[in-house]
Amino acid sequence: MVNITIDGKMIEVPEGTTVLQAARKAGIVIPTLCDHPNLIPYGGCRLCLVEIEGARTLQPSCTMPASPNMVVRTDTENVRTARKFVLTLIFSERNHFCPYCQVSGGDCELQNAAYHEGMTNWPLQPNYQTFSMDASHPYFVLDNNRCILCRRCVRACGDLVGNFTLGIEERGARSFLVADLGTPLAQSTCISCGVCVQVCPTGALIDRWSAYRGRETQVEHHKTVCVGCSIGCGMDVLTRDNNLVRIEGDWDAAINGGLLCKVGRFEPMADEQHRLVTPLLRKDGILKAATWQEALDAVDSHLKPGKDGVAALASTRLSAEALYTFHQIFAGKLQSDMVTSIEEGQTTAISASLADETGKPFEAHLDTLDTSDCFMAIGVNLVDNHEVAGFFVKRALPAGAGLIVVDPEPNPLDNLADITIKSKGLDLDILHALSGAVIQLGLAKEKNPAVLDTLAVYTEKTGVPVETYLAAAKSLASAQHPVLIYGKGITSKSPAVLKALVEFGRLTGAGMISVKGSANSLAASQYHLDKVFQLNGHQAAYIALGDDKPTQRLIQRLEKVPFLVVQASYTSQLTSMADVVLPVGLWTEQEGHYVNLDGHLQKAVRSLTPAEEIRSNEEVFNAIAQRLGFEPKNDWKKQLTQRVSPVVLTIN
């Protein structure tokens, strides 16, 4: 611990704490611009200058480590003058006329800093140099004229997201922000995660929906979780008058640490799908608007009990509460033999059966990615799906973490990988070869592993050079914290492939992370909603699609079903085929719980009120249960734990 004195206050802080962090801890306000709590201190803007006894000049508190018996003053005439001078220089450099802007909704950090210093004027007038704007991106706009060159966006893009798209061109006052080597954002390597927009302190990076639309102080915040995929990122949904204003990552969320990808941040804003606003009922061959009473009556009359009565499918974007009630209705009360999720267990079933078999979890938590020094991504695309997990991998690479990609298809991570192993349809052989390589190298973490002469055999079978296997095995087995990340490429195969992967994980001492599928894949799996969907003479099908999108494959398979009920938020080919359509709310319009890929149970809250006739998924299921004459049980939480999960569940 280090004792330092700031403005006469004695403060004890751990070694390595900066003066700025120490001051904040003591409740002393030091204005900052380039500093951001989630970014590595940078010392770029010099607004946080403080006086340190014994130092020749003022020092930036954001990068200055607290040292024993340091005496700091933050509120002297000298410091105040310096702050004003720093702000004067920043204001004079570009177009920082607040009345032209107001895009940051009255929450511009530059404007606030000037207010804080009581600046009534600019001692230096602007030089009126102009910079280009980049409005090519579909989700946000870059205006270099508002940029203060704090490089928060550059650092967020590189250090947090690992994408390294943003950078600075030119020098000094002529510096400006560019994507790649001066490519328009829309054509650049930008992956549209929007973290740069969230960290921008001014109006230089603005999103297309919330900019110029009122003050940020006049919004309601709803801390919730993203249901875009199974990661379960914490987010803050900003609304005003029941309108979505913006979605931001929640910096306090342990799982994502404030990061979001385009699926969570921008796609809900850009959503232009057509909503269902009233129940629909097919009369004389035509779907017509109906009341809930009529629609539910029609559903009711077709819900016949029995194995081949109603085939039922639910989206894994539904809440755990809804999935559990769904299960009780169709598998419990109606005794149907075909009750599953629209993922059909593709991402979870074999992991779940392995856990059932061994009786214990074998997967690691997501945070192991942040301490890992070698990753193997096998049968998983972490750039197009589960993007935030991809960020965790990509941002570890510059520090020297290894990456091995095993995927028969071209994988977007290929060009970042140290080693790629490609061999069509031979995952099992590849894994045997890798295990053989670990043993041959004598690096197996398990004592006395069964000596397998698998390397030579499988090298030949897979057609991958033996050196590749040896190099991959060496880098994984000699890493401190190796992690194997696997996806559908493994989980849609046979249980033997997963077993071989687990075996390889044991030999290398690697943590295992399965990315699974949608927001509630794991919950669906825990409720045994993981069967392959088949229609065997079922008289009706009930598709609880929620705000999910139906696949062509699903639509085709449902073409012949005699009576189709679709519970959905959006119109689609599937709803147009249905006999009854029940309109339900979006994820923002209902609350419920989600179990993410590493077993954390999280609550999603309701941020918006849907239109009058729209109900929540749970309300619809409850109404159906009532008509079937039973009261659904509410022990969904307990039921989640009744099956051994592939990963330790964290259920509070």
Partner 1 sequence: MRKPKISSDWMAGCSGCHMSLLDIDERIINIVGLADLRATPITDLKEPDEKGVDVGILEGGINNSANEEVAHRMRKRCGILVALGDCAVFGGVPAMRNFFTLEETLRRAYVETESTDSSGKIPNDPELCVPTKVRAIQDVVPVDIFVPGCPPDADTIYYVLSELAQGRRPELKGDKLQWN
Strand 133-134 to 166-169 pairing: unpaired
Please choose, out of 63-71, 125-133, 375-383, 420-428, the segment that lies near partner 1 by the rule CB under 8 A: 125-133
DSSP structure class, residue 333: I
Element of type H or E holding 583:
strand 580-583
CB of 120 to partner 1, least distance (A): 4
CB of 130 to partner 1, least distance (A): 5
Please choose, out of 39-47, 118-126, 196-204, 590-598, the segment that lies near partner 1 by the rule CB under 8 A: 118-126
CB of 97 to partner 1, least distance (A): 6
Distance of CA 99 to the CA centre of its chain: 36
Exactly one of 27, 118, 400, 442 binds partner 1 (CB under 8 A); that residue is 118
Exactly one of 121, 415, 552, 652 binds partner 1 (CB under 8 A); that residue is 121
Q: Which is nearer to partner 1, 101 or 196 (CB)?
A: 101
Q: CA-CA distances (angstroms) from residue 165 to 118, 156, 157, 247?
A: 37, 10, 7, 22
Chain position carrying tokens 């809250």: 605
Is residue 122 near partner 1 by the rule CB under 8 A? yes
Give 249-310 as a 3 state SS string. ECCCCCCCCCCCCHHHHCCCCCCCCCECCCCEEEECCEEEECCHHHHHHHHHHHCCCCCCCE
Q: CA-CA distances (angstroms) from residue 231 to 1, 204, 321, 519?
A: 37, 30, 19, 7
Is residue 212 near partner 1 by the rule CB under 8 A? no
CB of 82 to partner 1, least distance (A): 19
Is residue 130 near partner 1 by the rule CB under 8 A? yes
Q: Which is nearer to partner 1, 238 or 580 (CB)?
A: 238
Is residue 97 near partner 1 by the rule CB under 8 A? yes
Exactly one of 16, 54, 68, 99 binds partner 1 (CB under 8 A); that residue is 99
CB-based contacts of 28, cutoff 8 Å, min separation 6: 6, 7, 9, 74
Please choose, out of 115-123, 163-171, 280-288, 625-633, the segment that lies near partner 1 by the rule CB under 8 A: 115-123
CB-based contacts of 8, cutoff 8 Å, min separation 6: none
Is residue 217 near partner 1 by the rule CB under 8 A? yes
Q: Which is nearer to partner 1, 91 or 621 (CB)?
A: 91
Q: Which is nearer to partner 1, 103 or 584 (CB)?
A: 103
Q: Which is nearer to partner 1, 111 or 420 (CB)?
A: 111
Question: How many binding residues for partner 1 (CB under 8 A)?
Answer: 17
Q: Which is nearer to partner 1, 122 or 164 (CB)?
A: 122
CB of 112 to partner 1, least distance (A): 8
**Helix, strand or coil for residue 137?**
coil
Is residue 125 near partner 1 by the rule CB under 8 A? yes
Q: Which is nearer to partner 1, 120 or 536 (CB)?
A: 120
CB of 117 to partner 1, least distance (A): 9
Please choose, out of 90-98, 257-265, 478-486, 583-591, the segment that lies near partner 1 by the rule CB under 8 A: 90-98
Is residue 174 near partner 1 by the rule CB under 8 A? no
CB of 87 to partner 1, least distance (A): 13
Distance of CA 639 to the CA centre of its chain: 26
Exactly one of 3, 9, 115, 242 binds partner 1 (CB under 8 A); that residue is 115
Exactly one of 63, 75, 85, 106 binds partner 1 (CB under 8 A); that residue is 106
> Tokens in use for 241?
């008058």
CB of 23 to partner 1, least distance (A): 22
Binders in 416-475 for partner 1, by CB under 8 A? none
Chain position carrying tokens 């385009």: 262
Left (φ > 0), alpha (ψ -120 to 50) or beta: where does 386 sit? left
DSSP structure class, residue 449: P
**Helix, strand or coil for residue 235?**
strand
CB-based contacts of 484, cutoff 8 Å, min separation 6: 375, 376, 378, 501, 504, 505, 508, 510, 511, 512, 513
Is the separation of the CB atoms in 360 and 649 below 8 Å?
no
Exactly one of 8, 54, 128, 552 binds partner 1 (CB under 8 A); that residue is 128
- Which one, of 18, 370, 16, 15, lies nearest residue 159 by Cα? 370
Is residue 95 near partner 1 by the rule CB under 8 A? yes
Q: What share of the chain is helix, strand, coil (3-state, %, to 5)?
A: 30, 20, 50
Binding stretches for partner 1 (CB under 8 A): 95, 97-100, 106, 115, 118, 120-122, 125-126, 128, 130, 215, 217
